[in-house]
Structure 1
Amino acid sequence: MKFSKLVLPGVTMIAVTYGLARFSFGLLLPEINRTLEMSELVSGLISSLFYLAYCFTIILSTVITTKEGPRRMILSAGLSAFIGLLFMCIATNVWVLGLGVLLAGGSTGLVSPPYGAAIALWIKEGEQGRANTWVNSGTSFGIALSGLGAILLTPHWRLTYLIYAIVACLMLVWNFQVIPKKETGSSKLMLKKGDLAIRGVKGAVPLSLASLLLGASTAAFWTFSRSFIEVAGDYSDLQLSGFWVTIGMFGVLGGFSGSLIERRGLSFSYKLGSLAIGSASIILAVTSENWLLSYLSAGIFGCSYIFLTGVLIVWGIRVFIKNASLGIGVPFLLLAVGQVLGSILAGLFIGTWGYAISFMLYGMVGIAAALMGPNEESKR
């Protein structure tokens, strides 16, 4: 299959599920809090549902993709995002909002493993690393679009989610038309003995620990960074939305992680990304009142997050070389587990110690994750 024919709809589906359905919540959270009168603890609990749903659906998606191929799960992801966004649009209480969050968050778990498998099936081997990292960068485009939407629609968060739902429906139709119905070469995806086992797989333990720590370290930034700068500084609505756009725009640079891995190696790339993502939270913790430095932290965070998820994809596929969907599923599952715990604790920590101390703590966790990276370069 032609590179762009698969990668472009993949980028848009990732943009919808991750950027619009999942991570836009942090941008819209202050207005949602005011409308539904939620505390910081409740906000943290609701936000953790994104990651909790992700944990369940990425396991389901990995197993089904391995057995049946990628088409069914990719389309299920688009449908889940569409319905979840509609529920979030009409939410009149935390229960309806929570249901929408579960469906929207679940869409991200459904979509990642099958797109990794689709690329393994239909993209030439020499182009697969680049295809995976660029599809993964769709998150950045979605975040940037959500920021632009907030600039135009603030404080109408219900209308925002309605527009996102319409976009999700359109991207679902596009993927329905593009993804082949018959899995040509799908014997590569047939479930074999040991394909879904991680015990004894060389490199699985450091990959899992690194993913867990990185997930925990990013949870506070995704959920509370916008609320942090709103409380800490004298920001206009345009500046607050611009902060989110900066995360997305700089995140596009993370799509070059595949190229850096080829030039400098997996270990170097991982350590660079971990140090950068930890520093982003620390910079915000000490400079939240300064819009220029806050935007700098947003840019570093956006770029390093997309960069690191690209690194984890390449690392995971190299560790689980016989199963591309498992290679994506394992690190992304552990990333989400870390974000579940990190999101719940972030709400508690912020309520107890305040934003600055909490963000400093989360930044230190990100820097500590650099110690868990690959020790040697694995080859395909």
Structure 2
Amino acid sequence: MKFSKLVLPGITMIAVTYGFARFSFGLLLPGINESLEMSEFVSGMISSLFYLAYCFTIILSTVITSKEGPRRMIISAGLSAFVGLLLMSIAPNEWVLALGVLLAGGSTGLVSPPYGAAISLWIKENKQGRANTWINSGTSFGIVLSGLGAIILAPDWRLTYLIYASLTFLILVWNFRAIPKVGASSSLVFKKGNLSIRGVKGAIPLTLASLTLGISTAAFWTFSRTFIEVTGDYSAWQLSGFWVIIGLFGVLGGFSGSLIEKVGLPLAYKLGSLSIASSSIILSFAPENLLMTYLSAGIFGCSYIFLTGVLLVWGIRVFITNASLGIGVPFLLLAVGQVIGSLFAGMFIEVWGYVLSFILYGIIGLAASLIGPKRTA
């Protein structure tokens, strides 16, 4: 299969599920809080639903993909994102918003494992690492577009979500036409994967690293935009620009596959985890300084997408016989960590304030840098 025929629709599907349906919530949260009169604690609870839904659906997707192939789960992901975004756009209260969040968050869990399986099926082996990391970078493109949308449409978050839902439907149709059915070609037969992780060498460090990184990044995704808004004197376009910077620099994370090949997986992981820890700490010391906040956003965007690419490659190397499981395990644990991190972030901020809370999450990121793949990974 031609590289671009699978990778381009893959990038756009990741963009709408991760960028629009999941991570844009932090950008639009101040307007949602004001409209629905939600506290920081309620915001943190609802935000954790993104990750909670992800945890369930990534398990479901990994199992079904391993048995049936990737097409069904990719289409289900697009449908879930579309309905979730539509519900969020019309939410009259926090309960309907929470339902939309569950569906939107679930779409990201559904979409990750099947693309790994699709690449292993239809992309040549020497191009698979590049295909995986570029599809993964679709998150960044989605974040850029969500940031630009907020600048143009601010402060109408309902209209923003409605437009996101419309774009998601179009991309769902594109993927429906682009992803072939397993067995559509006589030369392609999907081999059912082994779902067991018992006794797999390297599985424990991978899961611990993913969990810790998930905790350390949760506060930034959910509350960084609100943090700089309440502590600094920024215009609406500067606040949205903060989000655009996260996405623009995240695109650089698409080169993680090339860097891993040059410096090795252990060093790539170490560089990424130290960088992501520094982003929270930098933001905590200078939230009122536009240059420093944008520097923090750039470091976070680049290092987050880079690290998810590292975890993706690390997972596939650990679970070498099952690409969907290799993606599902680290991404599941990353989401579990983000559930924990989001639940506590709202409470910490209400008790200690933004500065101390972000320093704490930066320290957790530093701890994550101590866990990584070995030279043999």
- SS of the residue corresponding to residue 321 of structure 2 reads coil
Are the aligned partners of 1:26 and 1:223 in contact in 2 as well (CA < 8 Å)? yes
CA distance in 2, matches of 1:370, 1:294: 23
Q: How does 1:185-196 map to 2 (within 5 A)?
A: 187-191=189-193, 195-196=194-195
The question of 1:261 aligning with 2:260 is answered yes
Q: Which residue number in structure 2 is paired with residue 343 of structure 1?
A: 342
Are the aligned partners of 1:207 and 1:331 in contact in 2 as well (CA < 8 Å)? yes
Runs of 5+ consecutive residues of structure 1 not aligned to the other structure: none
Output the amino acid matched with 2:239. Answer: L
Q: Which residue number in structure 2 is paired with residue 233 of structure 1?
A: 232
Q: Which residue number in structure 2 is paired with residue 58 of structure 1?
A: 58
Q: Which residue number in structure 2 is paired with residue 213 of structure 1?
A: 212
Instruction: Kindly state the Cα deviation for residue 371 of structure 1 after the two structures are TM-superposed.
Output: 0.8
Q: How does 1:24-43 map to 2 (within 5 A)?
A: 24-43=24-43
Are the aligned partners of 1:31 and 1:155 in contact in 2 as well (CA < 8 Å)? yes
CA distance in 2, matches of 1:198, 1:361: 32
CA distance in 2, matches of 1:199, 1:275: 30
- TM-score, normalization by structure 2: 0.99
Are the aligned partners of 2:182 and 2:189 in contact in 1 as well (CA < 8 Å)? no
Instruction: Kindly state the Cα deviation for residue 86 of structure 1 after the two structures are TM-superposed.
Output: 0.3
Are the aligned partners of 2:253 and 2:304 in contact in 1 as well (CA < 8 Å)? yes
Aligned length: 375
Cα deviation, 1:44-63, whole Å, max 9, x if unaligned, reads 00000000000000000000
Instruction: Kindly state the Cα deviation for residue 377 of structure 1 after the two structures are TM-superposed.
Output: 3.1
Are the aligned partners of 2:277 and 2:366 in contact in 1 as well (CA < 8 Å)? yes
Are the aligned partners of 1:65 and 1:189 in contact in 2 as well (CA < 8 Å)? no
Q: Which residue number in structure 1 is paired with residue 314 of structure 2?
A: 315
Cα deviation, 1:31-56, whole Å, max 9, x if unaligned, reads 00000000000000000000000000
Runs of 5+ consecutive residues of structure 2 not aligned to the other structure: none
Are the aligned partners of 1:267 and 1:377 in contact in 2 as well (CA < 8 Å)? no
CA distance in 2, matches of 1:333, 1:74: 17
Q: Which residue number in structure 1 is paired with residue 142 of structure 2?
A: 142
Are the aligned partners of 2:33 and 2:39 in contact in 1 as well (CA < 8 Å)? yes
Identity, % of aligned positions: 77
CA distance in 1, matches of 2:189, 2:321: 12
Output the amino acid matched with 2:122. Answer: W
Q: How does 1:52-201 map to 2 (within 5 A)?
A: 52-183=52-183, 184=185, 187-191=189-193, 195-201=194-200
Cα deviation, 1:120-144, whole Å, max 9, x if unaligned, reads 0000000000000000000000000
CA distance in 1, matches of 2:34, 2:117: 42
Q: Which residue number in structure 1 is paired with residue 222 of structure 2?
A: 223
Output the amino acid matched with 2:36. Answer: L
Are the aligned partners of 1:47 and 1:343 in contact in 2 as well (CA < 8 Å)? yes
CA distance in 2, matches of 1:127, 1:257: 14
CA distance in 1, matches of 2:268, 2:332: 21
CA distance in 2, matches of 1:165, 1:377: 44
- TM-score, normalization by structure 1: 0.98
Q: RMSD over aligned Cα, in angstroms?
A: 0.8
